[in-house]
Structure 1
Amino acid sequence: MKYIKSISRLPQLIITLSFHLSVWIIERFSNVKKYEEIVDKLNELERGTLGKDIAECLISNKLRLVPGYESHDLKHVLLDYKMTPVDEIRMQAFMIGNGNISVPSLAIFLYGFLLLPNKWRIFYGDFKQGLASQSIKSWQIEQYSKYYTADLRKRVVGSKNIELVMKTKLTKIALITSCMSMLLGGFGMLYCLPYLFSPVLEDLVGAGFPFLGGAILFAAGLLSFSVTNKKSGSINAYETVGT
């Protein structure tokens, strides 16, 4: 039984060691003193403010601001994700849904996604929450440190209609797919067109079927684009009325 528990904890241990190693490497090549002074100033702010909460969180967990990743700790506190391996992956799932699709975010999320398959449902829930929330990918500590955390959290998290957001995202994907279908179909038709006027029967037959396939692909894309574009218009109208 103890052996099974040890095996189940192994992925989280790997993630924890990886994060600590990454932070250690970054700190070795950065001016840590500067960031310690920032935390000291944040700790002087009024209780309940985001800056004060960030400072208290770092101090209680015996951590420091990671040079170049200060906004990372802002998001931890604002979104109420703890400084644990699982919550780190959960926060990255939220941020990807929130529009922060960067190499570090994707790398950290995929790392946790592969090592923690038993948490996939939780990660998906966080991703949807990110979709339904106001974008915070560009937020910086100096901009929001004096605002109250509870007010900011209420304003940001879950502030959008998730069903409407999902429909909008799917509509955009459908429009892009339709355009790609028309583009590929049109290219195939143009490529085969000269061969349709060839006196050689083999060229005529060989180009005829691809040309027909391209025409079908183009027509299907055009039809899909038209239908999806109408749906997109109705969704935008509903969103405008809702606001």
Structure 2
Amino acid sequence: MKNFELPQLPERTVKTRENGLTMVMDKGLSLRQAADLVGASDEYIDIVKLGFGTSLITKELDKKLAFYHEAGIKTYFGGTLFEAFIVRDMFDAYRSLVSKYKMECVEVSDGSIQMPHDQKCRYINELSRDFIVLSEVGSKEEGIMIRPNLWISMMNKELECGAWKVIAEARESGTVGIYRPNGNAHVALVNKILKNVPQDKILWEAPNKSQQAWFISLLGANVNLGNIAPDDVIPLETLRIGLRGDTFQQFMPKKAAEQNSGD
């Protein structure tokens, strides 16, 4: 929806879409906050992740999920909750849980526990028979750097096993995985991944504005971005279409850009 016309903006994909996704992180929104989020931003939100284990103690969880589902927003529990069940040898209980809450998606991750990759792939394969699977690659621990070739092989293998998208880990802080402790991207790592994994199959966690702008500048308006804060959904959409200073020059109409450069 646009309140008025402004020509020559980048073309955005529309829901239901395969690229240009925005995944929002719900870290315990109240029912009223969830309703407000949907009311203000539903057409820009593709997926909501109920972060880590917050779903265990969130009040009125059923009603909140209903708001999201009725708005055409996919939902899933964060990967840390999946790992909490796995480490307790409760995979079947986890499957029952996501079915009980009518989750369309699940996340399979191993960022907090040690898990053989073959085992992770078996979970992806099995869950993909009944759910849309997002698999997360990368450690949540600071200082742990996975070799680029290993990132690439794990991502491709997980896609082969049935993952819909692979998530490039950054945590909600944006300081691990594909980012350095100062929040800057591991540029060489990202570029190597992009050369070997289909771009539209990757969802880049980018909780901070500078990270969102960096990926939009690199890959365009329809890059898949995740771990977006609820209050940042509309600001992110304006970044995507060049209506904030960080991406304004990139998406300026050609004639205006030439005039602005003095040519």
Q: Same fold (TM over 0.5)?
A: no
User: TM-score, with normalisation over the residues of structure 1?
Assistant: 0.24
Computing the radius of gyration from Cα coordinates, the structure with the larger value is: 1
| Bigger relative contact order (CA 8 A; separation at least 6) | 2
Which is helix-richer, 1 or 2?
A: 1
